[in-house]
Amino acid sequence: MMNLYGDRGNVISIQKRCEWRGVSVEVTDVRLGESIRPTECDIFLFGGGQDREQALLADDLSGSKGADLRSISSEGGVVLGVCGGYQLMGSHYETADGEKLPGVGVFDLHTEPRKPEEARLIGNVLVRVPLEDGSHREILGFENHGGRTRLGEGAEPLGRIVSGFGNNGEDGTEGARKMNTYGTYLHGSLLPKNPWFTDRLIETAIRRADDTFTLEPLDDETENTAFESVAGRVRRG
């Protein structure tokens, strides 16, 4: 239900980058009415969706599914929410029709609807993501959302906008991060275009079971060429 603008590519990217290194992957879809915990998965992906899908699954999310996501996130589990999924990981999302949908509350943020005079926020996005060692790396993606996300006092953005709109088009923030849980507006698909970020999710997930684990590097020339071709255009405006 939650899969927009190529979000499925995030699943494929994780799968392929693991398999190319001999790490086997099992993918489980969690549908309406199904539970998250028994899957015993190491990485959880929550894709984007329009207001309609978000409204249809809000009830389901407010039960055990939301509680499981909260505890997985607070235990340091690896979770990535994109756009509509990201919005529902905050405290609440108000749709364009004024329907107030409760969120999971993983992040201290909420999302307001687009005002009638405001445009949807659409286009390529380039984001500068701070790393633990004080350096930065960029991620690139495509956004298309009406909702404006406002971070609360306790929320840390995933990064700062170099080009594009991000959380709300005003404060320069993009996405949110809390331990190993990430939320972002970047579709595109996100992970195939940003292999370093994919590897970070994979390595973090495996290290939770084996803290000596390191991923062997892959030849990312094709991915990096794709990244540079779009990033160059985005930087030039």
Which residues make up the interface to ligand GLN (CB under 6 A)?
A: 4, 48-51, 54, 83-84, 144-147
> DSSP letters of 96-114?
TTS-EEE---SSSEEEEPP
Please report how close the Cβ of residue 96 comes to ligand GLN at its closest, in angstroms. 7
Closer residue to ligand GLN (CB): 94 or 138: 94
Q: 136-145 and 148-151 as β-strands: parallel, antiparallel, unpaired? A: unpaired
Closer residue to ligand GLN (CB): 84 or 164: 84
> Which residue of this chain has its Cβ atom nearest to ligand GLN in the complex?
48
Rounded CA-CA distance 144/10 in Å is 17
Q: Is 166 within 8 Å of 123 (Cβ atoms)?
A: no
Catalytic-labelled residue, pool 18, 110, 145, 187? 187
Instruction: Look at phi and psi of residue 175 and say left if phi exceeds 0, alpha if psi is from -120 to 50, else beta.
Output: left
Please report how close the Cβ of residue 4 comes to ligand GLN at its closest, in angstroms. 5
Closer residue to ligand GLN (CB): 148 or 200: 148
Does 18 participate in catalysis according to the annotation?
no
Neighbours of 136 (CB within 10 A): 12
Closer residue to ligand GLN (CB): 66 or 147: 147
Residues 6+ apart with CB under 8 A from 203: 213, 214, 215
Please report how close the Cβ of residue 225 comes to ligand GLN at its closest, in angstroms. 26
- E strands of the chain, at which residues? 43-46, 78-82, 92-94, 100-102, 109-112, 121-130, 136-145, 148-151, 159-163, 173-174, 176-178, 181-184
* Tokens 């992040």, located at residue: 107
Closer residue to ligand GLN (CB): 4 or 80: 4
Catalytic-labelled residue, pool 83, 92, 110, 136? 83
Of the candidates 143, 131, 107, the residue with the CA atom closest to the CA atom of residue 197: 131
Please report how close the Cβ of residue 61 comes to ligand GLN at its closest, in angstroms. 14
Does 83 participate in catalysis according to the annotation?
yes
148-151 sheet: strands from edge to edge: 100-102, 92-94, 109-112, 148-151
CA 130 centroid distance within chain: 16
Please report how close the Cβ of residue 147 comes to ligand GLN at its closest, in angstroms. 3
Tell me the catalytic residues.
83, 187
